[in-house]
A and B are shown apart, each in its own frame.
Chain A
Amino acid sequence: NAGVMQNPRHLVRRRGQEARLRCSPMKGHSHVYWYRQLPEEGLKFMVYLQKENIIDESGMPKERFSAEFPKEGPSILRIQQVVRGDSAAYFCASSPPSLAGAYTQYFGPGTRLTVL
């Protein structure tokens, strides 16, 4: 059973360009979460999605950032008109449905975004 997959692993963009980050959850997992990690800091929640639904986007900036998890294919985190402050590691996590209510999350290897 392959783990959570993310691509690309490294992404370099110039200011004003768009960044598209992809996440394929573990097989059987229907919940996807995106987190951002700045250097020497913890992980900050951005958005929580299920197939075709955004459940919670309270941690995502209102402008320039969007996320989707279509019926088919990976989840996409899209950052438009990137700025230097967007440089960070972006981690995706997935979890299975859980009757217990709290879900164990498994992380992907991350995408390290550098904005020049």
Chain B
Amino acid sequence: AQSVTQLGSHVSVSEGALVLLRCNYSSSVPPYLFWYVQYPNQGLQLLLKYTSAATLVKGINGFEAEFKKSETSFHLTKPSAHMSDAAEYFCAVRVHNTDKLIFGTGTRLQVFP
């Protein structure tokens, strides 16, 4: 069975600091992985996706993620946090041979001035 685990339900950073949100996956087949962001009372917005074309994936809003098979990780990073990055972030894996997604429990990012 496939799954994702997000370490840290809350992450706080100062504006301008590095953002690192952790996601580890479990999959017996090459996975399709995604990061989504959710602002309060809104749906989810796709930040980036991993499809095995490249291990370093660049997304929107300056975010990127690196697929590391040896560590079964797909951590999300951004070099410099902005106040507008404060939101809930979800890592997800696509279930093999389906279109379903399995989501992590989410990480709430707070950005302090």
A, B: real partners: no
